[in-house]
Amino acid sequence: MSTVTPAISPSGSVISLENLLFDYPEADIILRSRDSYEFRVLKLYIVHSSPVLGEKVLISPNPPPSTPAIPVDSQVEGLTSVDALPVVELPLNGAILFSLLSYIFPVPPVLPSNEEQTMELLSVAQKYKMGVVLTHIRNHITQQDPPFIREETAFLIYSLAQKYGLRHEALKAARSTLSFSTLTIKDLYRNDKLSMMPGDVLHELWKYHQRVRSNLTSDLEEFRTSNAHAELGDSSCVSLTDASIPSWVDRYIASIGTTPVPAFVDLTEFHMELAKHVQQWNRLPTGGGRCTSCGNMPGGTIRRFWEALSAVVHGSITKVRLAEGGCVG
């Protein structure tokens, strides 16, 4: 998390990321982290955001009049409170609790500074059944640049998601690993991925890759034999398959999802294959079978075919869901 100076938010609360200070006006309870940071907040917001935390704060006893006041230094000049408030101990570190509160109260939301803490924050919101807060955090994560889940972070986030039982993040991260060439020990070691996850978690990811490849092979075979001709229309290509589509198109479709599995198909590669096919036949002597049909393929036909093929690939990958218990299967 970045460092900011103590500031008064539009709600009147005093928050400081540098000192992990969260001092809400008219606070009626103190939340204490496991590393002894104290946050003065209103019960009402906690109760509305989480039935689990709400129960904890509602059953917290109010200190009797004779109880010595609990000093809470706000660490902002001129702002010190010695009000006696009930205290609720939470098994969270101060940085995570501070971030969580920033998504509960009307203050600027603060994401943790690294992947591990961000995943822990998500797991805490899930554990405490904070549906709205969890959605808020996830929406904030999707706005990050560079993206939170990307090729460079996918293996780490997948491992952390399995550790914390975050099925949503585990599936997204698993899909982001599909462009990785293979999941062999040698390749994982060479790319510094092997140390990121336990063996059982890696095995579940391998099974996920196998299922995606299996689904993709089956769906693309059906597309090649049943739907591709409808998208391309009648062709006078010099080399057609039994399904009446150009052989080079058939080979291109068959190559998708071998190694690696694409997260999306690349139109540039399709145009390169088309150009290669046309050039190959154009090298032949005059009258040797130039493929003017493919060379003059309309742009609208290519676009229509490409949209259909992309939909098949995307749909095939999204069929593979998380198995019960948080593992990808």
Element (H, E) at 204: helix 199-222
What confidence score (pLDDT) does residue 139 get? 97
What confidence score (pLDDT) does residue 288 get? 55
What confidence score (pLDDT) does residue 39 get? 95
CA gap 155, 168 in Å, rounded:
15
DSSP 246: B
Within 8 A by CB and 6+ apart from 64, the residues are none
What confidence score (pLDDT) does residue 201 get? 85
pTM for the whole structure:
0.76
Question: 195-230: buried (b, 16+ CB within 10 Å) or exposed (e) per residue?
Answer: ebbeeebbebbebbbebbbebbeebbeebbeebbbe
What confidence score (pLDDT) does residue 329 get? 40
What confidence score (pLDDT) does residue 82 get? 41
Quote the distance between the C-alpha of residue 238 and its chain's center. 45
What confidence score (pLDDT) does residue 206 get? 84
All residue ranges of the chain with pLDDT < 70 are 1-14, 61-83, 181-195, 257, 259-264, 283-289, 322-329
What confidence score (pLDDT) does residue 199 get? 80
CA gap 216, 260 in Å, rounded:
12
Neighbours of 166 (CB within 10 A): 24
What confidence score (pLDDT) does residue 3 get? 37
With contact defined as beta carbons under 8 Å apart, do 110 and 98 qualify? yes
What confidence score (pLDDT) does residue 46 get? 95
